[in-house]
Structure 1
Amino acid sequence: MIFKVYYQDNKNEMLVREKTKSMYMEADNERAVRDLLKNQLINIEFVQLLEGSYLDYEKQSEHFKLQENVPL
């Protein structure tokens, strides 16, 4: 399954919508995504499952790139 992760770079700052970034990850479930990212210094806002026409739409974006290796 493919997930879109909305996050911010600084784990210690309050969330500000204008600073939100996103990445795409492949994993078995949301828990697996969060486990892969738990050692990162990012603040995860939301993890969204992409499927069907929404996934097709996201794949058309120039920003769509699956994260291959998440640095630990």
Structure 2
Amino acid sequence: MIFKVFYQENVHEVPVREKTKTFYIQAESVREVYSKLADKKINIEYIQEIKGAHLEYEQQNENYKVLEI
């Protein structure tokens, strides 16, 4: 499954929508995504599973790239 991770780069600041960034990661569950990202210094806001038409739409984005962790 592919998950879209919404995050902030600074762990010590309150999340601000305008500073939210995203990336994609492959995992079996949300729990696995959290475990893969445990050593990263990011503030995870939300993890969303994407599939079907939503995944096809995201894949058309020029910034679509699945991280290998």
Scaled by the length of structure 2, the TM-score of the pair is 0.97
Give the number of the structure whose residues are more often strand, by fraction. Answer: 2
Which amino acid in 1 is paired with 2:24? Answer: Y
1:1-40 alpha-carbon deviations (Å, 9 max, x no partner)? 0000000001111100000000000000000001111111
Which residue number in structure 2 is paired with residue 60 of structure 1? 60
Aligned length: 69
Structure 1 residues 1-72: aligned runs within 5 Å: 1-69=1-69
- Runs of 4+ in structure 1 over 2 Å off: none
Q: Alignment RMSD, CA only?
A: 0.6
TM-score by length of 1: 0.93
